[in-house]
A and B are shown apart, each in its own frame.
Chain A
């Protein structure tokens, strides 16, 4: 009885804490959405109001009506999706090798890969540009994908490797003993059990590719091939920032990322290993 009561209490406290946390977490975002419904004059009113005095849809209309916004949106969607799929493939292969196989130079390769995670991306833009140019990857969405995958590979591989490490090897040994191949192990044990890990990679890779700006700005100049973050940056001009438009555009831009998250977080399911054991 004591245990149950304690659990209940814990749940109630948990609930309250979470709600407080959510409020703090979401305030800036809520403010942004609220500001997206305000006309320019009210953006900086004092005292700050969460509920707009004169709510208006003009920002959204202007944003969605802006020629090429839809095109830029689709470009980003394409790039982010392709990057995510490619990254999941490539990094899971690498993570598996690092986690389950032994080969000369393993440590070396691993640390080199780790290095990639530590490098401030801004430092590499100029040389990357030179290389991309020589490989004819500029001004092309495919070029973006290739570079994005390269950049995020270190992190995602490292992440997946950590996940693979938490899967007990007894399962694989059982398969090997039964005469199964590594491929079977990969397909039937590692992949299904790593669903949460893979989901994380999917979420983060999509987010990275969707939001990336410095490289996209430099690599793609053709307006119809531009991605969303660059299009949104153009709402800021030299002397003035149209905050309402910026916020409205950002809100719209947030939707796909949230959708991807909602879809993949389903995979955070408990008990995958135990079901695997059975």
Chain B
């Protein structure tokens, strides 16, 4: 019995040590973190002159972009020697849960680069700082950024972020396949697009004129907007007459007909199979609609393939359009270093930063750098498209709206509802989501 007790005490000591070492390690960490604000501030005051302020920055950049980011950080730290930037790369698929967990636990980064879609919902939650109010010189900055990307930061009267980089999707076409089919160039109107796709397809050999990666809204969005489709009115008050309006219906009708005719690859229904890039580069797909990342990806994986871009074909009203994507940089309400964070955020919108990041495939949002020779040539087509590209609905419930539209498309493709029916139902659902506010 005695021995047992001694043994147990030893075990408890070991377990206890675990806790203590954990604590000690935390206290010993020099960097300023969110966990013990009072202690930190005291330490800061004592060493204010010598100690640097660290600004944390979470992102999901790929390898190439990360290299560019480090260059930007170097330049920044030279200019602002009292601020140290601590970037943390997060896994893309798990970024949102990690972010939310952090917010729930009160451990937030000072800044982060987020998908534009998340800004309204995080703003609604109260997690983000309203930059138009807090940031000096905010208005000057957004005067030189593209309006589309900037608008994705707007919610309930305030701006909650700065557009860091943007992108849009345009036509990427396989020149060889076009030439072999006797076509002179990429389609310029939607009608030509449909025709060309039909000509280029050979379903028996699993060759398709056009392929999309899925039925989620982002995939058909370019064609949707090009044909004049809309999801809601600009004030986001209703979807009736918009998502199920004439032009939207026409757009989806085209996309359903192409599938039925065998010119749209069944890839979009899921089920695995040859992805967009592989298909394009190996002669299975003649056209895909993708973003600027297409160039570096195709170049590295299929070095022999000639990458050709073109604007999204024009809809019947002679409009061209596409969908806006990209990332915004935001500052969190829980940050202890808001002033320094703002300095960093502003720097990300400087010409130097925009150009350095731009070299790796992140299209700048600063209109003043358009045409700069440091930027890759293929950006020109994208930036041209950006002039007319539309942002998706900046609303906290966008994810659910996307889901509704996604389902609608599925019903259409599976022939369970007509295009009009499916979109009517989607409109109802979206209206329900808007009202919940």
Contacts and interface: CB of A to CB of B under 8 A. Distances in A.
A–B touching in complex (CB under 8 Å)? yes
A254 interface: no
A223 B60 CA distance: 13
B101 interface: yes
11 contacts: A40-B300, A93-B11, A133-B106, A140-B22, A143-B22, A183-B4, A186-B4, A214-B94, A233-B91, A233-B93, A239-B297
Contacts of A90: 11, 15
9 closest Cβ pairs, A-B complex:
A237-B62, A233-B91, A136-B26, A129-B105, A142-B22, A183-B4, A183-B3, A239-B293, A126-B104
Given A133-B106, A140-B26, A218 B302 contact: no
Given A86-B15, A240-B297, A183 B91 contact: no
A182 B4 CA distance: 8
Interface in A132-147: 132-133, 135-140, 142-143, 145-146
Interface in B91-149: 91-94, 97-98, 100-102, 104-107
A56 interface: no
B25 A234 contact: no
A130 B22 contact: no
A233 B94 CA distance: 9
Nearest to B293: A239
Interface in B59-90: 60-63, 88-90
Interface in A61-102: 86, 89-90, 93
A275 interface: no
Contact of B92 (A40, A137, A183, A238): A238
A133 B102 CA distance: 10
A251 interface: no
A8 interface: no
B416 interface: no
Nearest to B303: A41
A137 B26 CA distance: 8
Interface string A116-136: 000000000110011011011
Nearest to A144: B22
A195 interface: no
A217 B98 contact: yes
Among B4, B291, B302, find the residue whose CB has the most chain A CB atoms closer than 10 A: B4
Interface string B26-41: 1101000101000000
A234 B89 contact: yes
B21 interface: yes
Given A139-B29, A146-B19, 13 more contacts: A41-B301, A89-B11, A126-B100, A126-B105, A129-B104, A133-B35, A137-B26, A183-B7, A214-B97, A223-B88, A236-B93, A237-B62, A238-B60
Interface string A244-263: 00000000000000000000
Contacts of A126: 100-101, 104-105
Contact of B104 (A130, A135, A230): A130
A213 B98 CA distance: 11
Contact of A223 (B15, B33, B89): B89
B14 A86 contact: yes
Contacts of A162: none
Contact of A218 (B11, B23, B102, B300): B102
A221 interface: yes
Nearest to B23: A136
A214 B93 CA distance: 11
Nearest to A133: B105
A230 B11 CA distance: 31
A166 interface: no
B234 interface: no
A91 B201 CA distance: 63
Contacts, number: 116
A103 interface: no
Among A126, A138, A221, find the residue whose CB has the most chain B CB atoms closer than 10 A: A221
Interface in A20-64: 40-41, 44, 46
Given A44-B275, A234-B89, A138 B1 contact: no
B278 interface: yes
A143 B24 CA distance: 11
A181 B3 contact: yes
B101 A136 contact: no
A138 B94 contact: no
Nearest to A126: B104
A129 B101 contact: yes
A132 B23 CA distance: 11
A103 to B, nearest CB: 14
Contacts of B11: 89-90, 93
B293 A240 contact: yes
A146 B105 CA distance: 18
A221 B18 contact: no
B56 to A, nearest CB: 8
Contacts of B3: 181, 183
A130 B297 contact: no
Contacts of B15: 86, 90
A156 to B, nearest CB: 15
B8 interface: yes
Contacts of A239: 62, 291, 293, 297
A140 B102 CA distance: 16
B250 interface: no
A249 B89 CA distance: 18
Contacts of B7: 183
B269 interface: no
A236 B102 contact: no
Contacts of B107: 129, 133, 138
A218 B291 CA distance: 30
B110 to A, nearest CB: 12
Contact of A125 (B14, B29, B101): B101
Contacts of B90: 217
B98 A218 contact: yes
Interface in A216-230: 217-218, 221-223, 230
A86 B27 CA distance: 24
Contact of B88 (A41, A181, A221, A238): A221
Interface in B284-322: 291, 293, 297, 300-302
B258 interface: no
B1 A237 contact: no
Contacts of B106: 130, 133
Contact of B1 (A143, A182, A222, A236): A182
